[in-house]
Structure 1
């Protein structure tokens, strides 16, 4: 027997701690793993329903983290703390990358596989996710109708109403740039932040100045970081379109929406629009 085989067959010494815990382990107390692992309750015998439930729940957790980081960044921009804002945005970029990867377990569902459990969730639909709505409101995608949809749950509605009434992340980015000496117009800085953000030619010009300037300037790095985030959000939306198109085609959505057509319209709306428009002008 050669040395390498001998190494492979030698017993492994287990030096992990074996002292029993009193009650829940410190790991479970901190992570709440037992709570998380108790939240999956398939309603059918369909083998793909568990993957659908876990994928959806994992995405909710990623939404929560992204919203947390964007709120952190928004506060940092109000304090003109570009470093803290950038750090939070970088963390959110990592979370968005993981969020996009979370589609994998259900990305190839066939219509028959999806139909095996679709009826079980009744009128439940992803657009009812309150945390995703926080995410979209923070992007400037404000919608009074989406807010009203949550009136039946007062606590959720109140929290979402706060995000609806507050400036978006992008609003605070533009306010920060104005304080840094860039000419963001008053009409943008004092706009009704409960309205959806739409592209403004003067903001395109602000970003044109940034992109035409020194390539090592921190404002350019900020623009590219925001573009990364916009791209990842857009990729998630289009991945959603593909998953739905593959699993159910153009059937109506479970909550009465137009389904695929509605998702396609939402996916086509640009995130931080001026950052895309400016590229043709530089």
Structure 2
């Protein structure tokens, strides 16, 4: 009689033997992912710090995957597909907002114990986060210098810096729809951060005042507002968590720490979309 424990399936028919098939762990490369945590200190809490930032980078990788596709769809005026992906990115940002709740369980003494082992590493050096900011229009060419030692990351960032942002593409979609936008705005220096433009504000205002006529543009505008709102919450939660854990100490990468993060809270990615609300 065959041993009941030698079967290749369980009592419900689930496959048990993966010697000749791809398993869950194989598909997700879990051996690689779960062996990528290498604490530098003897402290128990460093694992939290590592996993928090590694998972954030994975979510950012998905955001970049979506945002590049959004930009391509907008260039082809395929707005419904872009709407779906913009909503997904906003949801990812909300996921990252709640991720800070976990890191906030680390107390100041616990962080202080691992800080000497971090060297000069800092979230400021995240090339994925920088690429997200560039794609959304918050561009700063000087930040490329941080990534000069990583050729692939530097090249990717330089490419995004020199290309229209997602918001630039949205403005061009409006122009192609027949709304008047200044020629100077449509041929702007893409390497510079977004600056409010009166013709763009007037065009978006027309969209909001005639929603039935411009419904796709109206929906695009609201998806962008949702995205920036989620991004602001993500930034705010980052700043408050850092203040809770390290106070106003200088960041490990040499930044102003909480002071720098608070300044970032004042950055508006899609200025005209927020300015017009006062006049509506």
Common fold: TM-score over 0.5:
yes
- Cα distance, 1:31 vs structure 2: 1.2
Is 1:107 equivalent to 2:104 in the alignment? Answer: yes
Structure 1 counterpart of 2:37: 40
Select which of 252, 255, 262 maps to 2:253.
Answer: 255
Given the superposition, is the C-alpha separation of residues 47 and 278 from structure 1 closer, same or farther in structure 2, using an over 3 Å criterion? same
Residues 117-156 of structure 1: per-residue CA shift (max 9 Å, x gap):
1111111010100111110000111111111211111122
Select which of 80, 89, 106 maps to 2:86.
Answer: 89
- Cα distance, 1:16 vs structure 2: 5.3
Is 1:220 equivalent to 2:214 in the alignment? Answer: no
Select which of 235, 242, 245 maps to 1:244.
Answer: 242
Is 1:131 equivalent to 2:128 in the alignment? Answer: yes
- Cα distance, 1:23 vs structure 2: 7.6
Given the superposition, is the C-alpha separation of residues 213 and 99 from structure 1 closer, same or farther in structure 2, using an over 3 Å criterion? same
Is 1:191 equivalent to 2:194 in the alignment? Answer: no
- Cα distance, 1:93 vs structure 2: 2.0
Alignment root-mean-square deviation, CA: 1.7
Aligned to 1:103, what secondary structure does the other structure show? helix
Structure 2 counterpart of 1:158: 155
Select which of 11, 17, 35 maps to 1:20.
Answer: 17
- Cα distance, 1:18 vs structure 2: 4.5
Mapped partners of 1:223, 1:270: distance in 2: 15
Structure 2 counterpart of 1:167: 164
C-alpha contact (below 8 Å) 1:234/1:271 kept by paired residues:
no
Is 1:78 equivalent to 2:75 in the alignment? Answer: yes
Structure 2 counterpart of 1:142: 139
Uncovered stretches (5+) of structure 1, i.e. residues with no partner: 1-12
Please identify, of 89-98 and 234-243, the stretch whose mean Cα deviation from structure 2 is larger.
89-98
- Cα distance, 1:167 vs structure 2: 0.9
TM-score w.r.t. the length of structure 1 is: 0.91
Please identify, of 220-229 and 102-111, the stretch whose mean Cα deviation from structure 2 is larger.
102-111
Mapped partners of 1:14, 1:57: distance in 2: 38
Structure 2 counterpart of 1:30: 27
Mapped partners of 1:23, 1:228: distance in 2: 46
Structure 1 counterpart of 2:54: 57
- Cα distance, 1:271 vs structure 2: 2.1
C-alpha contact (below 8 Å) 2:140/2:191 kept by paired residues:
yes
- Cα distance, 1:201 vs structure 2: 2.1
Structure 1 counterpart of 2:263: 265
The number of aligned residues is 270
TM-score w.r.t. the length of structure 2 is: 0.91
Mapped partners of 2:176, 2:134: distance in 1: 23
Residues 223-282 of structure 1: per-residue CA shift (max 9 Å, x gap):
111100000011111111001110111111111111111111012211211111111010
Mapped partners of 2:11, 2:272: distance in 1: 58
